[in-house]
Structure formats: C-alpha cells, structure tokens
Structure 1
Amino acid sequence: MRRTAPLLALCLTAAGLTACSSADTRPPAAPAGITAQAGSATSVHVMWQAAAPADGVTNYQVFQAGRLVRELPADRTMVDVTGLAPQTAYVFTVRARDAAGNTSGPSASAAATTPAAKAEDHQAPTAPARTTGRADGPRAATLSWAAASDDTGVTAYDVYQGGIRIHTTGPGESATTLTGLQPDTVYTFTVRARDGADNSSPDGPAVEVTTPPSAGQGPGTAPTEFTATASPGAVTLTWTAPDTGRPTAEYELHVNAKPVTVIQFGAGAVPPSGAARVEYRLTVTEPAGTPWSLKLRARLPDGNWGAFSAERSIVLAP
C-alpha cells in the first residue's frame, strides 16, 4: 500500500471558518517487473506490473536509453516499441505518473537485442500444437504450450485472451505465468508463434482456466440458486444473477458438459444485478427419459465468462 504523503496545506479563512485543501507531492513507486522481448527484427515488446490502486497512477512513460518513446494510460502495462534496427541491443525503463503530475523514478532496466532481418519472409510459423493451463491462486495462471516451427525461426510466443494479446515470451520459452487476473473468473487463452518478419501463426488450441474465489473479494461471479425443472417438451431454468455491478444480459448454458446455447436477454428484460430471480424456458426435442446435467455462467462486464453455477441433473419429461 502506498505510504501517506506529506501534504502541503493551503488554507482559506472566511467568517471565522478555516477550509484547507492539500496538494499531493509524493510520487508513485517505480514500476516493477519490467521485461523486454524482441518480437521481430524491428520491434521489442516491453511489459511491466500494474501499480497498486492506492498509488493513483494515471499513465506510464516508456523510455529507451533515457528517451521517451511511448506514453500509455494506466490500464496498459505493455507496448510494442517499433521502428527499431535489426541486430541491435536496446535498453528500456518505465516511469509512472499520478493525477497530480508526480512522476516516479525509473524502473529497473530491461534489455533486448533484435534479431537479424529476413528478406522476403512471408511464411508464418506453425501454430503451437498443444496448450495447457492451470490457476495459480485467485489472480494468476500458468500456461504451457508445444514448440512451433518456422522456416526462418520462431522469435516470440504471444498469449491472447479474448482476441487481445496480453503477454509475450521468448522463442525458447514453452511456459509462462500470467498475473493480474480476477478471482472466480473463467479465462480462455490461446498462444501464437511469431517470426522475425512479424508473421504470426494461427492460434494454438484454446485452454480454459478458472481462477478460484478469493477471501474477502465480495460477491462471486457464479449464478446462484440455480434450478432446472423438466416438463413435456421443455425445461425451465431459474437462477439469481451474480452481483457484477450491472444487469447481466448474457449467459452460456452447458448440457452434459458441452456448451449448447447462449441465453440473451433484451433491453428491459434483465433484472438488476444480483437482486432478482431470472427465469428461462428452454424448448427440447430429445426423447423423454434422456438424462441432462445442466450448468450456466454469466458474461461479466469485462467480457470474460464468470464461474459456473452449481450443476443440476434432470431427466427429460414425457
């Protein structure tokens, strides 16, 4: 947690009352965990850890050899620095700034050397053939993948979540740890290989990781009090929406461990988040007596799927 800053008091006195305001003069801590990885002959991917919320950071500044090369908002903790020279060593640092304009000292240095350029390379690497993942507590996950191949050599592996690149590792890496995740949340990750000409492979196999709940985190992301009732030609589902801070309009239903449909509610049809029961009637055409195991999960405000509800087992009614 950020220490309490010494404050410069500015006071105005009127009608016997004194009102004071304080100016923040304490800079945030320097960013930690900075890494740099050459992504191609002309680019380097720089990453660092997000500042603690108490630091009030509003943006980050990326420097190369002391020269400002990028400025990013506080929700961005990685950047590709492009326009570099092949076969050249570069050193990067990052500084944090808060809303009062205080700038941190520089982070530790991170160095990377760009590889040689490959002329007329238009062939993308093969996709990593295997991806596995596991949660490492409520806010981290470890991914591993099979090596890809390329005619000129793989220079980096990129991790994607929801179609957005969130992490980059070196060509000799086959595993990485992702931090800054949300507790009690389902994440889907894929890995792509990249070569020195910035050709990217197709996605490798997707892997789903569910982070466990965290003590004291507040309401969970799973729908609660989930029920399933069979009637002739239909199944009625009811549940209480998770308290995500806003109405939840989209749920993914799994039957017998497979996703079968996405339930969507239109405007005005969604109850307040976590405040009321939701009901949905599902028409079925499978024969009576068919066993079903059902569970569902909600789409969270950040676009990820939340945790699954409890699973319910029924037999379709005649």
Structure 2
Amino acid sequence: MKAIVYYDVGDFRLEDVATPKIGSKEILVRVRACGICSTDLYRAEYRRAKPGSVLGHEISGEVAEIGSEVKRFNIGDRVAVLHHAPCGACYYCMHAQEPLCDQYRRTNVDPGGFAEYIRVPSELVEKTVVKIPEKMSFEEATMIEPTACAVRAISKSRVSPGDTVLVIGGGPLGLLNAQVAKAYGATQVIVSDHHDFRIKIAEKVGVDYAFNSKKTNIEESVRGLTDGRGADLVVIAVASSSAVQEGLKIVRWGGKVCIFGDFRDVPQPNLDIDPKIILRDDVTILGSWGCAPYDYYAAFNLIKSGRVKVKDMITHKFPLEQFNEALRVISSRECMRVVLEI
C-alpha cells in the first residue's frame, strides 16, 4: 500500500509499505480521508516522531476487513476512528481523566492515517470507532476528533448560558472551540487572530465577533462587550506563552483561562504568573488535552446535527501524492483545515 513516511524535518516520502495484518478482534480500515493536524507536524518538526513512521490521526474510511470475533462492524461500513482508547477501569478513568490513562496513551492505529490502510486494535474497535451516515462526507468525518478535543475543553471549563467566551487563536482548533462554546450556551463568542483569512472563516461559521489582533485592541474590545468585566472564559488555542499572558489580562475576576494549545514541542518561554491573579482575582487556570470516547460521540452528534459547521473549515484537499504541496499551503497560513483524500 502507499503511505507517507516521515524521516526527518521536512523529509516526508511517498513509499510502498506492507499492508497491516489484523487479529481476530481487529479491523482493517481503508482510509478515505485524513486531516493534517499541527500536532503531527510539530512531532515531525521537533523530531518527536520516529524516523520511518507514518503520522496522521484524524481518520475516516471504510471497513475493508474484519477479524473473526468482530461483531459490531461489517465490511463496507463507513467509519471514523479515534486513535486512543482508555481502559475504563483505572484511577484516571474512574475520575473522568481518561487522557491520563496508561492504555489511552499506549493505544494507537497502525500505521498512522497518512496511508491507504490502517489496522485498528481491539481496544479501539470496542470503544472509539463510530459509523458515519452517508450524508456526512469522509472529509467532514475527519473533523470529529479535533471537535471532540474542543468538546472536552469547553466541558471542563463549564461554559454556562450567558457566558462571554474569548478564543485566542483562530486556527481549526480555535474555531472548533468557538463553535462548541456557542453550542453549549455561550451568549457571546469572540475570536482573535492576526490572519485576515482566518477572520473571514470565523465569521462564516457563526462566531459573534472576530478581530484581527494586529488591527484591534482585543482587551478593550472584550471589555467593551462585557460592561468592563472581561471574558468569563478565555481559551488559549495557540502554543504561545504571550497568548496566555494576554488571556490573563482579559479574563474577568472569577473567570477561567483554559490552555488548549499544544505546548509539548513548541519552544516557548516559561510563564511568569502573579499568584495574586489566582488568589485575589479568583481566576482559575486549567488545561485540556485529548478527549474521551464520550467526547468523541458528542462531537459526532454536534457535526451530524449541524450545530458545529465543519464543511466551511475544510479549505484545501490533496491526494496522498501531493502531501508536500499540502505542507506548503499549511505553512502559508492561507488555509484552515487541510485534508488528504486517499
């Protein structure tokens, strides 16, 4: 089968690799679409990915083969696959902290989704593979996983009806957080970014206010929309220490700042936070990474119902053979979500 194989920074190659073989409790999925997520690109850029590996985790496709003990699926089923599965029984799972579960962190598809076929392990077959309807395209289905991560962030942040939510960072994950916040009852959802292309997409998917941070004073704008209080919740959807500092200036007393951008690989200075912000101003700082199966199913339903609009966020599609051209488009920032059609 064909796959995009990672070797080093900027070195991705289209190669013929062996099609994975499945066990009795596993399924083989013919990948039809896979989103290119910044997490995969960071892993490659900062050499956290293993040379010779295949990346990609926002996956949809068709069941091509089923193990002898698999009952839930049939050959030809259209599916989306969440690439991690918690055990459901450990301390972290019992406390609704599934992304901290050891099994969650160990499980994955084989290989990644930048390939024609993937083997889905039994742990995933049991919990994190969802059948998608005919009316949902494979490209749209790739957005279930990132939407699920946004569902988890907004749920952890306990957004309430009447809240004003500011999302700093108008990339794909930022706009998904904004849409989920709106779906969960936020009255005003504001997005800030410094790319006009992203601002236009934000307006298209129903964000209440979208500001270019190079042209607008975001703090003044948010306070002007909230009688001077500031945002009830600020979601930091970029891996930027300065964005966190900005969020702490804009959040209201008693509000929350959710760090969502993936800092694991991106070099950033340490945060210098005045403890008085937490003590005197009663600001809660929390993080959100990954998602649980129930977040995944919630995301699926949000997309299926149209409450989260993902079609307008998919701005570019490329075949596997044009992977490096897809990377060039992503680096230009004149895009939103880029999807491989396989």
Q: TM-score range with shorter-chain normalisation? A: under 0.3
Answer with 1 or 2: which has the greater Rg. 1
Higher relative contact order (CA 8 A, sep 6+): 2
Q: Structure 1 or 2: larger helix share?
A: 2
Q: Structure 1 or 2: larger strand share?
A: 1
Task: Output the TM-score relative to the length of structure 2.
Answer: 0.23
